[in-house]
Structure 1
Amino acid sequence: MTIVLLAYVAVGLGVNDTVPLDLLTHGGALLALTVGFHIVLRWRASYADPLMLPIASLLNGLGLVMIHRLDLAKGPESEMAGRQVMWSALAVVVAALVLVFLRDHRRLRRYTYTFMAAGLIFLLLPLVPGLGRQIYGARIWIGIGPLSFQPGEVAKILLAIFFAGYLVQTRDALSLVGRKILGFPLPRARDLGPILIAWIASLMVLVLERDLGSSLLFFGLFVAMLYVATERISWIAIGLGLFAGGAYLAYLLFDHVQQRVMFWLDPWSDAALAQSDQLVRGLMGMGAGGLLGTGLGQGHPYLTYFAESDFIVPSFAEELGLVGLFAILMLYGLLVERGLRTALGTRDGFGKLLATGLTFSIAMQLFVVVGGVTRVIPLTGLTTPFLSQGGSSLLANWAIVAILLRISDHARRPVPPAKPMATPPSGQAVVTS
């Protein structure tokens, strides 16, 4: 919280040359949220990992600071930071409720196929007439009055639980080796069904909802968990082959995929600039930041479209520089490392797969976002976990942290010593089988 408040002061000094008058009010609210969650964590999961909560709180707080900074640039009519504060409070409360009511993560395994059905429903909600909304070509939102929500964020958690429950039941069959091609062991043909279903489902998301990022995230999540469950590299090879084939097919069939590839290959071309200069503005902003950045409140990140959501990473890179951006990426790296360490320490197979899947979803989403804005891969439009504006993303990622904390509490909790066998009375024979 000290780092967040210092950043908040730096924004005030950089924009208005004054310390913000509401520093104590906002700082007290953030501190109350964090301390409240910490108390719930010590009450319900006292052995949980000690780094996940500080990292998530710091990332969330830095996101609030940058959104507030962009609010100041847009004028008093902009209220993005106020809405984000309310969503942050709601997300922390939801995460605390998850810790309170989910006493044992293994209970989730009982409802494996229920989570599958719920995940598919959430995934398809944007296609419901009158409920789904199409924004900038992608139909990934639902709207109820003035409120909008991205159900795919919830779907990734539900599907990760389903994948973990399904794979822990079938991993022995999926681990069997069929034929070898050029010395490379391949799974049996009858076992290819799950990965083909996941591939077709990801293509449906791409075709029907025109959402390249979510399609990549869901399919990558399943392939990664499949590899962890079976320890077969052949599944990775098959998954990469299916993804390459699906991506090429989508490029041939859909104009919006061709546009993304054009922006990726040459965003400065006349054809690309005639459609959008968003990526170019983000790249120029990062270039202006250089090594150490312009300083919080002293750059021009607001010149980039959607600087508070899709392009919040270039916003930080401009004002904090390459050093500041690497520090933020290191925080994500630590969060992913703690999640994977939790998976390694968990004593049940379901918990290992669930912790791995949830951690991979954060890592994969971050790679897709940062890779897109830096032209490593085509831009997809996903939000950066904890940093970007958006209530649905905050709710989902705080819920992921809560589940990981619950699993880590189980993994780090000492195993109770076995009770010694009762000594029979003198002269009484002991019968053993």
Structure 2
Amino acid sequence: MSQLLTVGTPRRNTELVLLILALGVGILANALVNLNLGRSFDNDFYTQSAVLAGLSLAVHLTLRFRAKYADPVILPVVVALNGLGLAVIHRLDITSGDNAGQRQWLWTGLAVAAAIAVIWLLKDHRILRRYTYISLLVSVILLILPLVPGISAGDVNGATVWIRLGPFTFQPGEIAKITLAIFFAGYLSSNRDLILLAGKKIGPLQLPRTRDLAPMIVAWLASVGVLVFQHDLGTSVLFFGLFMVMIYVATSRISWVIIGVLLMAVGGTAAYHLFSHVHRRIDVWLNAFDPQYIGAAGGSFQVVQGMFGMANGGLLGTGFGQGSPDSVPLANSDMIIASIGEELGLVGLFAVVMLYALFIARSFRAALGTRDSFGKLLAVGLSFALALQCFVVIGGVTGMIPLTGLTTPFLAAGGSSLLANWIIVALLLLISNAARRPIDVSAEPTDHQEEVSAP
């Protein structure tokens, strides 16, 4: 009789309780918007509440059937963030006359449907390892698409990262961060032993062999290419940072990090001196409160307005509908953190940050518990991509680093970002299911066998 080692239990009932609380966050936020702005609870309010609950419960039921050992905290956290984002965008629509909220609801439905499809159709995350080099090819195509005449949306807010699909615009780079993570995870898990072969030693550092530097050079050139041709500083940092973290996790060698930081420093310095858009972005950050930069086209007005808005919110905020976040350009997308900081205050902003921290911590926990190296690297890569995205966005809004065009995951208006992030959630839930499900000790394969024989 085989022995079983229980790594986890199906805590779907715990997830359901947390999910009800998470739905309460989004629905209550939407209710406060209507109350504070003197609007009635019309059919739209009840319909939207029912749709959010239905979508969330659909994912929950899918997990009960297809991934019953998945982490019980990840889904409720994401639903709380998504629901809060919908409420904030709805609040901004009321005062600005925009209809971004309707588009966000449409994308939320598509994103959740995509997540359900991934959970239902992908039986085992290890299957993705078969598509390592196909993922690289797809990533290259996705990154080139915004530069192709006919489908390119052209320069939007200083960056060429969008394509047109009929009446919609889409950012292929958001999907590329997933396919790149799959490629890096597959490549590093297959070639880890070769990468670890000793190269030259300088002091306490064991440097890699020259031939093994090729993947990092390719990642560096790809990030520089995004910066040069698409003028997208945030995505460039995201892609290179993603590879740096994954190769460090795969090898545990600090030398790779040092080499990566040096390459980033060289690329950043060169970009500052060679490309006007990078130079302007840095100058605006360093001189944000200089009147000539505040009033200049593409200057610091957006960041400064956001900072004053957050200062106006103080500790507890002005309350939904009681502030003026709509005075900040792109308040529902790039600057949604400033909008939350003004109307929910420092306490509300800390609560949002803690939700992100909880999501990332649970995702890393899934990576630690996974028994195959591909799953570990993929979970770390996807988790870090969202963590770095949060850091870059919040750091830019608060003036800690230059502002970039990245969106705040699950909160900000943006369909391509929402779609990609919900797919990431689905993959992390599948990986956490593999990490927590009971294993047959007597028949447990080795790490290599487990990966090769993945169904």
Q: Does TM, scored on the shorter chain, surpass 0.5?
A: yes
Q: 220, 238, 242: which one pairs with 2:259?
A: 238
Alignment counterpart, residue 169 of structure 2, candidates 140, 148, 157: 148
Give the counterpart letter for 2:99 in structure 1: E
Give the conservation status (yes or no) of the 8 Å contact 2:26–2:82.
no
What whole-Å deviation, never above 9, does each CA across 1:37-64 have from its counterpart, x for those lacking one? 1101111100000011101111000000
Query: What corresponds to 2:387 in structure 1?
Result: 363
- Secondary structure (helix, strand or coil) at the match of 2:439 reads coil
1:47-93, Cα deviation, whole Å (9 max, x unpaired):
00001110111100000000000000113xx2111110011011001
Written as runs of structure 1 = structure 2, the 5 A alignment for 1:13-24 is 13-16=35-38, 18-19=40-41, 22-24=44-46
Contact 2:205 2:254 in 1 (8 A): no
Residues matched between the structures, number: 417
The aligned counterpart of 2:452 is none
Query: C-alpha distance in 2, partners of 1:115/1:192?
Result: 20
Q: Which residue number corresponds to residue 395 of structure 1?
A: 419
| Residue 136 (1) aligns with residue 157 (2) | yes
Give the superposition deviation at 1:23.
Answer: 2.8
The Cα of 1:171 is off from its aligned counterpart by 1.2
Q: Is the 8 A contact 2:164 2:170 kept in 1?
A: yes
> 1:74: which partner in 2?
96
1:42 aligns with 2:37: no
Match among 91, 94, 106 for residue 111 of structure 2: 91
Which residue identity does 1:170 align to in structure 2?
N
RMSD across aligned positions (CA): 1.2
Q: How far apart are residue 15 of structure 1 and its match?
A: 1.3
Q: Does 2:361 align with 1:337? A: yes
**Which whole-Å deviations, capped at 9, do the CAs of 1:89-129 have from their partners, x for residues lacking one?**
11001000000100000111111101110111011110101
Check the 8 A contact 1:309/1:388 in 2, yes or no: yes
C-alpha deviations, 1:247-267, integer Å up to 9, x for none? 110000111111111121111
* 1:161 equivalent in alignment to 2:182: yes
**TM-score, with length taken from structure 1:** 0.94
Inter-partner Cα distance in structure 2 for 1:184 and 1:110: 34
**Residue matched to 1:53:** 75
SS state of the match for residue 218, structure 1?
A: helix
Aligned AA (1:305): P
Whichever residue aligns with residue 55 of structure 2, its letter is L
Give TM-score scaled by structure 2 length: 0.90
Of 184, 187, 193, 1:172 maps to 193
Q: Which amino acid aligns with 1:100?
A: W
Are the aligned partners of 1:175 and 1:231 in contact in 2 as well (CA < 8 Å)?
A: no
Residues 12, 20 of structure 1: 8 Å contact kept: no
Which structure has the larger Rg? 1
Equivalent residue number for residue 194 of structure 1: 215
2:327 counterpart (297, 303, 306)? 303
In the alignment, structure 2 segments of 5+ residues that lack a partner are: 1-22, 444-455
Q: Equivalent of 1:418, from 434, 442, 445?
A: 442
In 1, distance between residues paired with 2:409 and 2:146? 21
For 1:26, the equivalent position in structure 2 comes to 48
- Name the CA distance, whole Å, in 1 between partners of 2:178 and 2:36: 39
| Paired residue secondary structure (2:71) | coil
Give 1:380 shift.
1.0
SS in 2 for 1:132: coil
Alpha-carbon distance in structure 1 between the residues aligned to 2:167 and 2:48: 26
Separation in structure 2 between the aligned mates of residue 382 and residue 292 of structure 1, nearest angstrom: 27
Distance 2:42 2:282 in 1: 43
Tell me by how many angstroms 1:296 deviates.
Answer: 1.1
Aligned counterpart for 2:137 among listed residues 97, 113, 117: 117
